[in-house]
Amino acid sequence: MTGEPAVDPRAVVGQAAGRGHVVAWGLWDWGSSAFNAVILTFVFSVYLTDKVGDDLPGGVSPSAWLGWALGLAGFAVALTAPISGQRFDASAKRKGSLGALTTLTILSMVLMFFVHDDYRYFWLGLVLLGFGSAFFELAGVPYNAMLRQVSTPDDVGRVSGFGWAMGYFGGIFILLISYFGFISGHGDNRGLLGVPVDDGTNIRLVAMLAAVWFAAFALPVLLVVPELPRTNADPGAARAGFFGSYRVLWRDLRELWAVDRRTVGFLVASAIFRDGLAGVFTFGAILAVRVYGIADSDVLLFGIAANVVAALGAVTAGRFDDRIGPKIVIVVSLIAMVICGIALLIVSGPTMFWVFGLLLTIFVGPAQSAARSFLTRLAPPGREGQMFGLYTTTGRAVSFLAPALFGFFVWAFDADRAGIVGILAVLALGLAALLPVRGPERNAA
């Protein structure tokens, strides 16, 4: 702790709201998409389970091991995110914590280069994915908390939408570069660069590329946006130890429940509908191929188109967020998604999936962006990190809903199409939980 006097927590609001600060903040989202898109979803995780673990001895499949590793990482995140965010705020090291967690994530990505195409390296890849996933999710806590620093109450919706859009577009660009540069084609050498596939060299180089991409675009926010000033928003939090931090957290939650229960209500509602939003992308590709007859080769094209329309939706909705409030944006988005989902239950064929699938995903970005601005407007000034830590934890706590209900309806009706009902049920449940929650005041600080 420094001897500097604590400032009023309201000084945090708009502390770095210049255009350059906003762009620097959004570039972290652009760069971080390399971990989500390349490492966790489309490239490295597939290489790990399909190639490295292909001849893994024992009766447990590589996919099961991956699921358990990521589940364990998620459990660790759920336990530590609230007190981590709390300490980032209280110690005035929000940017420093973002830098440290980003560096640890990038280091995990760099080390993935040493995961050779041999089952003996499967465990190294599994550990790196687990730790990388945990560091990445924890990095999202101080990053989201910085939204209040780089925005004002009048433009928080637009800034949040800009950040989400940067993430979507960044993911598209790094995937295209990876695919055409290192993966596309047939034979012993792949991509426009002619990289050899022997020993997984092309995929291991993609992991290195993703690490460099993340590092390059994470630097601006660390260099441009100033550190959080030390505030007096949460007495005792900075001096509390690990277990003491949980006592401070419990005290703050009791206070929050007594003063403004809508924050607790929103955390619960958003956790539910955000799991439904995740389910849209998680199971979209499976449904596209197995139900609507989309060719395997066209799935990536649909994924790119879906990310583009979700990004455009997030940018557009940001303006409505600032004018009419984030709650209305979320409610309209969820209702529209349920309607499009019902239409998908009825229609058939690739063309109809393209039409209603893209209509559905155009509302994913607005809902995600408005949820972030909603909590930013509600969070007590100086305690944004703690609130976004709880945001992460509650999301983790219900992350089983969409997968479980998707699987249940597929099993109950013996039809993949019926899984859509499970996703729609989660979205509808989240909408029902959100409706009684009063929206934040437009100029809440």
Q: What is the DSSP code string of 198-259?
A: GGGHHHHHHHHHHHHHHHHHHHHHHHHSPPPPPBSSSTTTTT--HHHHHHHHHHHHHHHHHH
Separation in Å, CA 58 to CA 52, 61, 65, 125 = 14, 8, 11, 17
Angstrom distance (rounded) from CA 294 to CA 274? 26
Query: What is the structure's pLDDT at 238?
Result: 58
Flag the least confident range among 111-115, 155-159, 207-211, 296-300: 296-300
Angstrom distance (rounded) from CA 31 to CA 126? 23
Query: What is the structure's pLDDT at 223?
Result: 94
Share of the chain above pLDDT 70, in %: 91
Angstrom distance (rounded) from CA 156 to CA 375? 11
Angstrom distance (rounded) from CA 215 to CA 177? 16
Query: What is the structure's pLDDT at 258?
Result: 81
Burial tier of 55 (Cβ tally within 10 Å: 0-12, 13-18, 19+): exposed
Angstrom distance (rounded) from CA 140 to CA 392? 8
Q: How many other C-beta atoms can be found within 10 angstroms of the C-beta atom of residue 169?
A: 18
| Mean pLDDT computed over 327-338 | 97
Given a cut of 60, whether residue 182 has pLDDT beyond it is yes
Band of pLDDT at residue 94, cut at 50, 70 and 90: confident
What is this structure's pTM? 0.87
Query: What is the structure's pLDDT at 12?
Result: 60
Q: Which of 56-65, 98-107, 277-286, 347-356 has the highest mean pLDDT?
A: 98-107
Given a cut of 50, whether residue 1 has pLDDT beyond it is no
Q: How many other C-beta atoms can be found within 10 angstroms of the C-beta atom of residue 443?
A: 9
Angstrom distance (rounded) from CA 158 to CA 167? 14
Angstrom distance (rounded) from CA 332 to CA 339? 11
Q: Which of 204-213, 238-247, 256-265 has the highest mean pLDDT?
A: 204-213
| Mean pLDDT computed over 6-28 | 74
Query: What is the structure's pLDDT at 240?
Result: 65
Strands (E), 153-256: 189-190, 195-196
Query: What is the structure's pLDDT at 9?
Result: 54
| Mean pLDDT computed over 221-247 | 71
Separation in Å, CA 23 to CA 1, 142, 147, 312, 414 = 30, 17, 12, 17, 48
pLDDT in tens, 360-393: 999 999 999 999 999 999 988 778 888 898 888 8
Query: What is the structure's pLDDT at 122?
Result: 95
242: alpha, beta or left? (left if phi > 0; alpha if psi -120 to 50): alpha
Query: What is the structure's pLDDT at 202?
Result: 94
| Structure token pair of residue 193 | 């660069």
Query: What is the structure's pLDDT at 7?
Result: 53
17: which DSSP letter? -
Query: What is the structure's pLDDT at 2?
Result: 45
Flag the least confident range among 13-22, 33-42, 81-90, 92-101: 13-22
Higher pLDDT, 203 or 259: 203
What are the φ/ψ torsions at residue 298 (nearest 5 degrees)?
-95, -5
Higher pLDDT, 42 or 217: 217
Q: How many other C-beta atoms can be found within 10 angstroms of the C-beta atom of residue 305?
A: 16
Given a cut of 90, whether residue 16 has pLDDT beyond it is no
pLDDT in tens, 422-435: 999 999 999 999 99
Separation in Å, CA 337 to CA 280, 366, 423 = 10, 11, 10
Given a cut of 70, whether residue 232 has pLDDT beyond it is no
Angstrom distance (rounded) from CA 402 to CA 392? 16
Given a cut of 70, whether residue 445 has pLDDT beyond it is no
What does the mean pLDDT of the chain come to? 88
For 354-365, b/e burial (b = at least 16 CB within 10 A) is bebbbbbbbbbb
Angstrom distance (rounded) from CA 173 to CA 352? 27
| Mean pLDDT computed over 252-276 | 88
333 Cβ neighbours under 8 A, 6+ residues apart:
317, 363, 364, 366, 367, 370
| Structure token pair of residue 363 | 């509302």
Query: In the chain, helix, strand, coil percent, each to 5?
Result: 75, 0, 20
Query: What is the structure's pLDDT at 326?
Result: 96
Flag the least confident range among 83-92, 96-105, 257-266, 318-327: 83-92
Band of pLDDT at residue 282, cut at 50, 70 and 90: confident
| Mean pLDDT computed over 216-227 | 93
| Structure token pair of residue 442 | 């437009």
Angstrom distance (rounded) from CA 87 to CA 104? 18
Query: What is the structure's pLDDT at 397?
Result: 82
Chain centroid to CA 345: how far?
27
Burial tier of 193 (Cβ tally within 10 Å: 0-12, 13-18, 19+): exposed
Query: What is the structure's pLDDT at 394?
Result: 86
**How many Å from the N-terminal Cα to the C-terminal Cα in the chain?**
26
Angstrom distance (rounded) from CA 135 to CA 312? 28
pLDDT in tens, 399-408: 888 888 988 9
Cβ proximity of 86 and 245 under 8 Å: yes
Query: What is the structure's pLDDT at 11?
Result: 56
Higher pLDDT, 149 or 135: 135
| Structure token pair of residue 174 | 């790094």
Query: What is the structure's pLDDT at 6?
Result: 55
Strands (E), 38-125: none
Angstrom distance (rounded) from CA 262 to CA 436? 9
Query: What is the structure's pLDDT at 444?
Result: 47
